[in-house]
Structure 1
């Protein structure tokens, strides 16, 4: 299990650093007086085993961002999903455990933290967001993050992610030309004002038709106890199970209740 995860306040530069490593020991643990944005470890006191797997991603947020665009924020759901990728899906016994040529695709990626983590672990990653993302700065922000981490972090010598504009339920010729996807990431796509639940699941079905063995990792914040995805899974012929969050390090504090589901096509659920 990976033992460290930190978010350091980047001040006016808008840089938040997320670092994780297995076999990590630190003489300093976050105290209850630390704010979530000020938790950090002293590198001089850190002790890594020689074979430790280190995932070190710096997420650069636009300086002008005032929270007006959800796509420029780091949500709890993306943090939970990223830890699942690190501690469970792609790692085993402190070693990388990602199959060769694994392809991942993230819907509504925003800052694309899960995709960046998957990329750092060796996946062939495809990052998508709504139509207009190439012109409204969403993709350019992620490209800046990638360039930074290719020079300074865990994306050095990694295959660069691909980008495609994709709105839920709308499939362009580019979408039809995409390869089969092994893992589809969906992090916090449901909001209080969301109206396109069926469009989201139709997009799941689109990629499931390309690969009947696809695994969809769907992580979302609970915003209403009256809304569930059970009827949507039944309607779109999916099955799934909730994943317990015991893979999270003890010092990870979430601001909200988050649920992580693994979803598969019903006919290939075994």
Structure 2
């Protein structure tokens, strides 16, 4: 890992208004670049918005939306992560998070642990990839996947140094903050990684209202920065390689895992 600046966005996304959402994301990319951000994360389903008819919003990857985001990443020299409903020619769409690198490559994480309301609408992904960005190795998990420590430990064991948890959760902001302080602090501490999380904000106009929120934790599980006021916001957080190395030199939990017993 190299020293870097992480950007976490909370924003309102209108369901189906892909062009409008991308325009607002372009504004955030411009703002983030001005703050020296190296890795920018948008909420779950930030491109397509959250809608109960997932297939109606599905976008091909590669496609126009991923192409726009890829050009933004290349233009500003940063890695950009953003969520969308991804078209699946084999059936139900995927609930995905794009990872657009500054060199033009585009990767995708497909949510593997679907909630009970999502399972009838989406197909589950089948892999937990770690993405090599210019500044750090990054793992992704979406929303309630924060509650699965096995996901975090698998990603960390595969080399992840930063874990990102984009959300689209209607939970009240105060409760969301307290929940993150428990679950995501534990993910950071247990795995010896930086953790960043961000949530959708505002009324989607389709019966869903999101509480926003953005938060970052250091590898010791301590809160580094947070924002829980309403409305769109970019939270920037410096992540230091030396701090990660120092914590990992004394935090040996991953080295002593016994996966043969975890069945």
- Determine if the TM-score, normalized by the shorter chain, exceeds 0.5: no
Which bracket does the TM-score occupy, shorter chain normalised? 0.3 to 0.5
Normalising by structure 1, we get a TM-score of: 0.35
Rg larger in 1 or in 2? Answer: 1
Which structure carries more relative contact order (alpha carbon 8 Å, separation 6+)?
2
Normalising by structure 2, we get a TM-score of: 0.36
